[in-house]
Amino acid sequence: DRFLRKRSAHIKALPYRSTSHNRRARTHFAVSGTPTVVVTKINEHGYVALTNSDAALQVLNQAAFPWRQQSLLEELGDTLVDRDRITHATEDLLGKGSKCQVLALYFGGDWCPVCRSFLPTLNHVYNALKREYDSEFEVVYVSSDHDIDDFDERQRKMNWYSVPYEDYNGRQVKQVLSARFRISYIPTVILLHRFGRDAEFTLIPEGRD
């Protein structure tokens, strides 16, 4: 105990007996388990949490300090791939100059039986919406596949874009996006629409599942 107290003396803490403050902090930041790190920054309204801070700590570095909340497109990465493994610039497909108004993020994996049974339904909805709305609607696959072979097998069954599998170890895209949208199981579909002066993608109310 003495060693731990000395080692962590530079870390501030809520009083141990202040259970109400601890409870309010856990509720405010939607903490469901430990260990969890919530990175906050101060703006004109006070301190605000970076929504994906727990996972983002794995990819942020000291040189990037002070950290800022990345946009969704930044978290998706510079490129997306189609079923033919052709790369496309994320900005061209989903950026402010694109026609995309509604974006669905599909979290799934080929090893998951429920994902495999869900895929035909999603394909049907996707094809129907693309026929009517074309480039105004896009889907991006965020993979939980175990390896590149499973990813390729899965992608051949889908007509939409995917976050490149090769990015997962380098930038941990899946972990960052899963933390941002609090993904706890697959399959999960998150619906977002372009909204506001900055034309950022925002979660549609009831826009998951």
pLDDT score at 171? 53
Same domain, 49 and 76: no
The string of pLDDT tens digits covering residues 38-88 is 766 655 544 545 555 555 555 555 555 656 667 888 888 889 999 998 999
Q: What is the CATH number of the domain that holds 81?
A: 3.40.30.10
Instruction: Count how many domains the chain has.
Output: 2
The string of pLDDT tens digits covering residues 144-190 is 998 888 999 899 889 999 999 876 554 578 888 888 888 888 999 99
Residues 51 and 180: their CA atoms lie apart, in Å, by: 6
Same domain, 100 and 60: no
Q: How far is CA 88 from CA 11, 44, 80, in A?
A: 44, 37, 5
Give residue 122's domain range: 72-208
Average pLDDT of 14-22?
A: 70
pLDDT score at 91? 92
Q: Looking at the predicted structure, is the pLDDT value of residue 135 above 50?
A: yes
For residue 65, how many other CB atoms are within 10 A of its CB? 8
